Amino acid sequence: MIKNKLNRMKNHLGMKPNQKEKAQPIETAQKNVMPGLVELDEKWSKLGFSPKYFENEVTFIKETRYPVDSILGPYAFLELEKVVKKWSAVTFNHPLSAANVPVEQLLFFDIETTGLSSGAGHSIFLLGYSKIERDEVLVRQYLLSGPSSEAAFYYYFLNDIEAHHKLVTYNGKAFDWPQVKTRHTFVRDQVPNLPKIGHYDLLHAARRFWKDTLPSCRLSIVEKEILQIDRIEDTPGYLAPMLYFDYLNEQEPLYLEGIIKHHEMDVMSLIPLYIHISRMILTNENDEWTEKEKYEIARWFYYLKDDEEALLRFRALTTSNDLLIKHNSLLHLALIYKKKKQLDQAYELFQILALSGEHQIVSLEELAKLSERKKDYDIALLHCQNALKLIKNNSYSIKGEKVKEELLKRQKRLFVKLDGK
C-alpha cells in the first residue's frame, strides 16, 4: 500500500522532454559494517542514494545530473552563464550581482527541517544544492540517516563547499544558513569549520517586486505565477517533518521519496528564478516587465544610493500611464536632483507635483525650502501657506502632525524675514 501511495508522488518535475535524469553513485568510503545498515543501504540505493561513513556514522548522498540545455520554466539552465557575463559587463553594483563570479561557484541551496524554529530540538535532515558543472546541472543532496549521524552529515557537506562558493537561496539568510550554523555548533569539534561564504537571497527581491501582486511570496507561488512552473503531484514542504519522523520510526526511505523530489525541485527552480530576477535588473528597457516591476527596481537603486542608475530608471517611468507610478517617479527624481544640487531641475519637478496628486504637500514644502534658500521669501511664504491650506481642508493625507509643525515654524520665520526687509 505504501508503494502505491508514494508512487503517486513521482514524476512531478514537469521538465521538458530533452531533460534526461541520471543518478551517479558516489564512492563509498571504507566502513565498519553496523547492524541493520546493509538492508538500509539497499533501500536508499533504490532512491539513488549512496552511503558515506564517518566515525561509525552514516549519511546518504545522491547526485542527479541534467543536460545544461534543459529547460525549466522560461529558461534553459545555460542562460545562467549569459546572465553572469552581463553582471560582469555593467558598471553599477547590486546585492545580487554575480560580476566576476565563475558560474560553477554559484550553489543554489535549500534545506528541509524537522520544524520551522531554530531551537536545539529541530534538525536539518535534508540539505543540498544545484550547480552548473561543465555541460550539466548537478543536484547534490545530503540526507541525515538519523539523529546520531549529524557529524557524518555535516562532514561530507562541508567538505564539498568552500569560501569561494556563493550561496543562492530563498530566505536562506534568515532561515537556512542560520539553521546550518546552529546545528554545526553541536558537531563543530568533529567536522570542518563553516566557511565565510557569499550569499544572494532571492526572497528580498521577490518581496520587492511582487508582494503587492501575488497572494504570497512563497517559492511555489513565485514559480507558478512568475516562471510558469507548475509542480505536478508535489509533496508540500510542510509535510517534511511528519514524513521524516515516519521514516525514522519505520526505517523506510520510501516515505521520503516525495520530499526528496520536492527539495530537488526547490534547488533547481532557484536557477531560473535567479536568471529572471537578474534579467529584470540588467535590462531596464524591456517590455517583458510591468511598470510596477520597473518602478520597484528603480526604487531599489534609490535605496542603494546609486543616484545615477536610479535617475536612469525613474526617467523612463515619467511617461507612465499609471499616475501613481508617474508621480512617485517624479518625486524620486526631484529628490535626487536636490541631493545632487541641481536645484533648478528639482524645483521644476516639485512645481509639477504641487499641482495635483499624492505628493502636493511634500512638494509645496520643498518649494518653500528652495525659495527661501534663494531668498524669494514672498514665494516661499505662498508655498508654505498653500500647503497649510491643504492640510486644513483635509485634502491630502499626511503622517502625523510633524509636517504641519514644520510648516508653521517656517511660516513664522518667513514673516519675520519679510518684516525685516
Query: What is the pLDDT confidence band of residue 34, given thresholds at 50, 70 and 90?
Result: low
What's the CA gap between 335 and 329, in Å, rounded? 10
Phi and psi angles of residue 167, each rounded to the nearest 5 degrees, phi first: -85, 140
Decide which of 225, 255, 282 is a domain's last residue: 282
Give the domain extent around 389.
Answer: 291-419
Nearest to 203 by CA among 234, 243, 167, 158: 167
Same domain (yes/no): 202, 314: no
Decide which of 282, 302, 322 is a domain's last residue: 282
CB neighbours of residue 285 within 10 Å: 9
Decide which of 282, 306, 333 is a domain's last residue: 282
Same domain (yes/no): 83, 193: yes
What's the CA gap between 175 and 179, in Å, rounded? 6
Same domain (yes/no): 261, 344: no
Looking at the structure of the chain, the number of domains it has is: 2
Structure confidence at residue 11 (pLDDT): 41
Same domain (yes/no): 363, 259: no
Same domain (yes/no): 308, 246: no
Structure confidence at residue 396 (pLDDT): 56
Same domain (yes/no): 127, 180: yes
Q: Is pLDDT larger for residue 242 or for residue 421?
A: 242
What's the CA gap between 322 and 308, in Å, rounded? 23
Bridge partner list, 109: 129
Same domain (yes/no): 160, 277: yes
Residue 246 DSSP SS3: helix
Ranking 23-32, 55-64, 289-298, 358-367 by mean pLDDT, the lowest is 23-32
Nearest to 71 by CA among 271, 218, 221, 234: 271
In CATH, what number is assigned to the domain containing residue 126? 3.30.420
Same domain (yes/no): 379, 241: no
Q: Is pLDDT larger for residue 41 or for residue 74?
A: 74
In CATH, what number is assigned to the domain containing residue 321? 1.25.40.10
pLDDT for 25 beyond 70: no
Q: Is pLDDT larger for residue 96 or for residue 393?
A: 96
Same domain (yes/no): 79, 148: yes
Same domain (yes/no): 242, 197: yes
Same domain (yes/no): 185, 295: no
What's the CA gap between 391 and 309, in Å, rounded? 34
Query: What is the pLDDT confidence band of residue 12, given thresholds at 50, 70 and 90?
Result: very low
Same domain (yes/no): 6, 59: yes
Structure confidence at residue 29 (pLDDT): 47
Phi and psi angles of residue 240, each rounded to the nearest 5 degrees, phi first: -55, -50
